[in-house]
Structures are given as C-alpha cells and as structure tokens.
Amino acid sequence: MSETVCIHGAGSSRFAKQPERSLAELVWDAVIEALDDAGPDGADGIDAVYVGTCFGAPGTAQRALHTLGIVGVPIVTIENACASGTTAFHEARAAILDGRARRALVLGVEQMSTAFAGAIHPELGDAEGASGMALPSLYAMSASRYLANGWVTERQLAQVSVKNHRHAEGNPRAQYSGRYTVEEVLASRPIADPLTLLQCCPTSDAAAAVVLGPARGAARDVPVRASRLASGGLWDHRTDHVWGFALVRDVAAAAYEEAGIGPQDADLFEVHDAFTIGEIVTTEALGLAAEGEGGALVDSGRTTLGGRQPVNPSGGLLSRGHPLGATGVAQLCEAVWQLRGDAGARQVDGARIAVVETMGGGVSGIDGNGAVVAVLGG
C-alpha cells in the first residue's frame, strides 16, 4: 500500500487521422514510451492495467498489450465517454492506494477513423445522432445561452481557438496547430451555430499511456495529489447553469479539497475544450473565473502561454485532437511533461502544480456521463 501514487512514466503516439495505422500500433507507441520513461522493471513490473476506450472491437487493446508481454495480470477496460482515459487513471490510482497493485499501466486509446462511423449510428440506437442532437449541438446551445446572457462574446469564443491552436505550435504530437486570427476562426465553416469549424475539436487516432507506482524518491516522478470522479444526473431544466457546469464544479471542489489547494495555486490546466465554449464554461467551473466571466478571462491573457495560469498549453482537444479514450491520458502526459520541465517550446515556466479535467458524455437528458478532476505535482 502506498501513501502517495506517482506517475513514473508517460508516453503517447502522434495525434492525427491515421487510418493506415492499426489500433495496436498506436498502443505500442504510447506504452513503449511510457514503460521506457518509467525506467527499470518495464512490463515485468506491471501488475494491473486499466484501459480507457469507447469504441473498437472488444479485446483489441488487450491483444496489443499481450504482444508487448503484458500478460497474466488483470486488464480492466473502462468506457466513460470522453472521460474514459481519466476514469481508467482514477481506478488505477485507487488500486495502488489500496494495495491491490504496486505498479499499474493506464492506457487510453481510440482509432476514430476506422471505428467511429460504425459505432455512432442511428440504427444502433443513437437517438441523438438521428435527431441531430450530437455533441456539437449540445455545446452550441451552451454557447447560445452564454451569448444571450451577455456572458461571452463571439470574439471571446474564437479567442479560445486562437490561443489553443497557437499553443499547439509548440507540440510536435498535436494534430493541428496554426496562427489564426479571431476573424479567421469566425469565418471558418459553420458547424452548429454559433460554433464554427475551428471552434470544434477534430476526431483523431491516438493512444496515450502513463505508468503509476509508489513514491520512490525519483525527481522525475510526478505525485498525484488528488483524483475525483463523479457521474452527472438527469438534466434539470430549472437549473441556472449550462450543461456540465455543476458536475465539473462539484468534482473540482472535491479534488481541490483532497489536494489541499485552490484554483489559484495551480500553474497550468489541461481542460476539456472539445468546443471553445467548453473551455469557457470549464474555467468558470474550475474557479479560475466567476460564472459569466470566462470570456473576460481568456481576453485577459492569464490563460495564454506566458500568462500566470496557462490553460491547455498542449493545444487542448481543439488542436492536439480528441481521440476519446486517449484524451484524458494525453492530458495527464502533458501535465507530467510540464511539471518535469520537458515541454519544450510550450513549457510553462516554473510549473509546479497542474490540474487535469475531463468531462465525459452528454447523451440527451444527462448532465454529464462523468467528470474527472486530478491534481498533479507540488
């Protein structure tokens, strides 16, 4: 049993649309890098595996792991919508804290190019897809509400995209990057009004992995100070908040309490910017700004690289890409690289504490399938 769980190693594949690479190849990239990074022991030292993934045939990730010599140990595959990867991390950390595992591998993976089209399909019971109430519409409604309330402007929404695409220029693993203007973001193809193409995350193929273990006095190891998971409830139409706000706020509050910090103490955040409005709402839910002031926050520059509390220095889901199961683990990898000072051109100076937040789901009628907030470093 361990008092503190640390991340010993991190790794990921490139993020891209890469249908020519098998899911196994993506897994190998991520896991081999994470195991090498974790140092000695390697696969032999892994006694539990937690996999986060949404789509793809059952067993595919397991087969990829077996071929790396990870055999004979419990492998638990978890689906929790967009939060699948961080839910796997949450469960793996618990297994170590509880003494059931000494060293655990967390893998997140999704190959959306080949699996996605078949997996979300009206004939398979996806009423949301059939009615057009897919995630872009859900986020667009939040954006419309914020615009109607005067809580955000269209330019502020676009500024989130400008910021995160610019951040991704420093991230060689990112799917997209670039120096856009607010005008260019607003002029990109409409997806779900008021959200334009550059305000929506792309679908992606990628894998990411971290190795968790006990504290061992290694300077490169990153302590996990807190991790919290909860599922939302039925959507309450009388609420004053947009979708997901209350869930993330409550989960974050619990994580801050466990870590003994407040939002002002974190040096960087990796948050669920599946759409620009997502980052606005999330930074408010995380306590970086009061509700209705997330737009002003992004305008202030505080969340831009070089500012006091950069949000999504990796480029976020908007630019790094959003391979569902891999996303949460990729956020953890970014936190590890930042806290070690290994983040290169996108390094947050003097980063000591990082907060990772992933928001999962939103099939109609649910205020979030789940959210995970973790605090690392310190």
Beta carbons of 212 and 224 less than 8 angstroms apart: yes
Using alpha carbons, list the distances in angstroms from residue 14 to 191, 302, 330. 26, 28, 10
Q: Is 121 annotated in the active site?
A: no
* C-alpha span between 30 and 117 (Å, rounded): 24
Pairing of β 353-360 and β 268-270? parallel
- SS3 of 312, please? coil
In the complex, the smallest distance separating the C-beta of residue 363 from its own copies, rounded to whole angstroms, is: 4
**For its own copies, the closer CB: 198 or 226:** 226
In the complex, the smallest distance separating the C-beta of residue 155 from its own copies, rounded to whole angstroms, is: 33
In the complex, the smallest distance separating the C-beta of residue 286 from its own copies, rounded to whole angstroms, is: 18
Beta carbons of 275 and 138 less than 8 angstroms apart: no
DSSP annotation of 89 reads H
* C-alpha span between 203 and 211 (Å, rounded): 26
**For its own copies, the closer CB: 35 or 97:** 97
Listed residue (156, 346, 180, 211) closest to 268, CA to CA: 346
In the complex, the smallest distance separating the C-beta of residue 361 from its own copies, rounded to whole angstroms, is: 5
**Is 98 a residue that touches its own copies (CB under 8 A)?**
yes
Residue type, 315: G
**For its own copies, the closer CB: 127 or 290:** 127
Q: Is 82 annotated in the active site?
A: yes
Q: Of 35, 135, 229, 330, which lies in the binding site for its own copies, with binding defined by CB under 8 A?
A: 229
User: For its own copies, how many residues bind (rule: CB under 8 A)?
Assistant: 56
Using alpha carbons, list the distances in angstroms from residue 61 to 8, 10, 76, 356. 22, 18, 10, 24
**Touching its own copies, residues 103-132 (CB under 8 A):** 114-115, 118-121, 123-126
**For its own copies, the closer CB: 60 or 204:** 60
Q: 82, 200, 201, 333: which is the annotated catalytic residue? A: 82
Q: What is the contact mask toward its own copies in residues 35 to 74, using x (rule: CB under 8 A)?
A: --------------x----x-xxxxx-xx--xx---xxxx
355 burial via Cβ count (<10 Å: 0-12, 13-18, 19+): buried
**Touching its own copies, residues 349-378 (CB under 8 A):** 361-363, 365-366, 369-370
Sequential DSSP letters for 323-362: -HHHHHHHHHHHHHHHHHT--GGGPPTT--EEEEEEEE--
**Is 257 a residue that touches its own copies (CB under 8 A)?**
no
**For its own copies, the closer CB: 62 or 137:** 62
**For its own copies, the closer CB: 78 or 271:** 78
Residue type, 106: V
In the complex, the smallest distance separating the C-beta of residue 249 from its own copies, rounded to whole angstroms, is: 12
* C-alpha span between 99 and 88 (Å, rounded): 17
| Helices 324-340 + 23-38 axis angle, to 10 | 20
**For its own copies, the closer CB: 232 or 377:** 232
DSSP annotation of 365 reads T
In the complex, the smallest distance separating the C-beta of residue 73 from its own copies, rounded to whole angstroms, is: 6
Q: Of 232, 244, 310, 313, which lies in the binding site for its own copies, with binding defined by CB under 8 A?
A: 232
97 forms beta bridges with: none
**Is 96 a residue that touches its own copies (CB under 8 A)?**
no
Q: What is the contact mask toward its own copies in residues 235 to 254, using x (rule: CB under 8 A)?
A: ---------------x----
In the complex, the smallest distance separating the C-beta of residue 42 from its own copies, rounded to whole angstroms, is: 16
Using alpha carbons, list the distances in angstroms from residue 80 to 324, 355, 361. 9, 20, 7
Query: Would you please indicate which residues are annotated as catalytic (active-site) residues?
Result: 82, 322
Interaction site with its own copies (CB under 8 A): 23, 49, 54, 56-60, 62-63, 66-67, 71-81, 87, 90-91, 94-95, 97-100, 114-115, 118-121, 123-126, 229-234, 250, 361-363, 365-366, 369-370
